[in-house]
């Protein structure tokens, strides 16, 4: 579910049903800026580039604002923003917020299948995609496929999003592209102290995220380097992960183009005592080989010594081709029993 208020649901162990071959524990995917760039490596539908924090000021066009405020735009944008915030330069903060929103609002997914289409379709309603990204691309991918019914993962936005709106009276949220009259969510927080308890929406999203992570059987991180840049986020996520009762049986995978040793060192607290590691190609991640079946395939391979054969996503050229491929998987799920065999 995407819109609504937070009502945490605690599941009971065991979550792997041998009879139906269904693992009710979630697969949680966490997205950083690198994921959106991997989604549109050559730019969005209209050629607009997806920024990382390291080149954010240049890509988004806030260099002039930063220079006029007396700062060096070549630095990591989050650190620059924190300095401006600490200096109490509210006019500069408002100008940055407006410019950033305008840039991200114009972004659009290409017409052909993208990484985000694969990610959305690779997960089920028990699963979750947690994103730190401001751009609307994951929402656009979700909206492409919501016609398939209640079979898509939960979307959780830890830093707000340019396409998220709040109904302050009803205390609900939805997409601004569906209901433009709603109040936009906050985007920018100082990196040293992001104050994740500062407003009700952020509290709700973090509660959803930590609930999901504390129950996850498989975690995939894509293009997110939080342990180095966001101390408060790391602390909240790490506590939830350590509270996970099946953590030592689960998998923790990080997709990052940096050196694997460097990546694993930065996530060492999360990897301590669990299966996992770093890879550089998201299309070599487990969810591409076992879409919508990752938790089941991993559990049967490691706990039951019954590996499932791969049922890889196709390299689809059109959305229609991808939809036709995914439908048999959804039909099998609706039957309540998974065969554990490729359907294609």
- Say whether both 80 and 142 belong to one domain: no
| 63 phi/psi in degrees, rounded to 5 | -60, -45
- Say whether both 58 and 118 belong to one domain: no
- Say whether both 159 and 299 belong to one domain: yes
Q: Is residue 32 part of a domain?
A: yes
- Say whether both 145 and 23 belong to one domain: yes
Q: Is residue 221 part of a domain?
A: yes
Pick from 291, 297, 293, 288: nearest CA to 326: 291
Domain end call among 105, 124, 144: 105
> Residue 15: which pLDDT band, with cuts at 50, 70 and 90?
confident
CATH number at residue 269: 3.40.50.1220
| 143 phi/psi in degrees, rounded to 5 | -70, -25
Domain end call among 88, 105, 122: 105
Question: Distance from CA of residue 61 to its chain's centroid?
Answer: 25
- Say whether both 129 and 266 belong to one domain: yes
Question: Is it the case that residue 161 has pLDDT exceeding 70?
Answer: yes
- Say whether both 61 and 167 belong to one domain: no
Q: Is residue 11 part of a domain?
A: no
- Say whether both 94 and 116 belong to one domain: no
**Count of domains for the chain:** 2
Q: Is residue 187 part of a domain?
A: yes
More confident residue, 322 or 229: 322
Q: Which two tokens stand for residue 171?
A: 């205390």
Give the structural domain span for 83: 53-105
Q: Is residue 338 part of a domain?
A: no
Domain end call among 105, 122, 147: 105
Q: Which two tokens stand for residue 204?
A: 């709700």
CA separation for the pair 341, 344 (Å, rounded) = 9
Q: Is residue 174 part of a domain?
A: yes
Q: Is residue 62 part of a domain?
A: yes
User: Residue for token digits 């940055």?
Assistant: 96
The pLDDT value recorded for residue 191 is 66
- Say whether both 221 and 80 belong to one domain: no
- Say whether both 35 and 59 belong to one domain: no
- Say whether both 214 and 283 belong to one domain: yes
- Say whether both 171 and 234 belong to one domain: yes
CA separation for the pair 251, 253 (Å, rounded) = 6
- Asked if residues 288 and 19 have their Cβ atoms less than 8 Å apart, the reply is no
Report pLDDT digits (tens) over 65-108: 999 999 988 778 888 898 999 999 999 999 999 999 999 999 99
Lowest mean pLDDT among 191-200, 258-267, 268-277, 298-307: 191-200
Q: Is 104 left (phi over 0), alpha (psi -120 to 50) or beta?
A: alpha
Question: Distance from CA of residue 41 to its chain's centroid?
Answer: 17
Report pLDDT digits (tens) over 287-322: 999 999 999 999 999 999 999 999 999 999 999 999
Q: Is residue 217 part of a domain?
A: yes
- Say whether both 210 and 158 belong to one domain: yes
């Amino acid at each position: 579910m995407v819109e609504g208020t937070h009502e945490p649901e605690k599941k009971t162990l065991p979550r792997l049903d041998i009879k139906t071959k269904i693992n009710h524990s979630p697969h949680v995917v966490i997205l950083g800026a690198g994921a959106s760039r991997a989604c549109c490596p050559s730019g969005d539908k209209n050629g607009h580039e997806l920024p990382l924090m390291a080149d954010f000021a240049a890509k988004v066009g806030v260099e002039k604002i930063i220079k006029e405020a007396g700062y060096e735009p070549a630095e990591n944008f989050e650190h620059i923003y924190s300095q401006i915030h600490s200096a109490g330069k509210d006019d500069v903060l408002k100008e940055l917020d407006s410019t950033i929103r305008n840039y991200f609002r114009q972004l659009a997914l290409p017409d052909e299948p993208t990484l985000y289409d694969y990610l959305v379709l690779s997960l089920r309603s028990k699963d979750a995609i947690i994103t730190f990204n401001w751009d609307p691309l994951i929402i656009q991918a979700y909206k492409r496929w919501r016609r398939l019914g209640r079979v898509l993962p939960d979307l959780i936005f830890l830093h707000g999003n340019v396409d998220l709106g709040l109904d302050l009276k009803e205390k609900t949220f939805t997409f601004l592209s569906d209901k433009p009259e709603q109040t936009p969510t906050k985007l920018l927080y100082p990196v040293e102290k992001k104050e994740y308890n500062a407003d009700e929406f952020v509290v709700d999203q973090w509660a959803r995220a930590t609930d999901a992570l504390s129950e996850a059987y498989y975690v995939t991180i894509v293009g997110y380097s939080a342990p180095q840049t966001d101390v408060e986020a790391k602390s909240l996520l790490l506590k939830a992960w350590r509270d996970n009762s099946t953590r030592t049986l689960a998998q923790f995978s990080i997709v990052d183009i940096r050196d694997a040793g460097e990546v694993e060192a930065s996530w060492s607290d999360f990897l301590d005592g669990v299966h996992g590691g770093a890879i550089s190609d998201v299309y070599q991640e487990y969810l591409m080989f076992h879409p919508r079946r990752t938790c089941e395939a991993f559990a049967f391979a490691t706990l039951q010594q019954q590996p499932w054969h791969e049922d890889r996503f196709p390299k689809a050229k059109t959305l229609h081709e991808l939809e036709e491929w995914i439908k048999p998987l959804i039909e099998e799920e609706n039957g309540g029993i998974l065969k554990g065999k490729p359907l294609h």
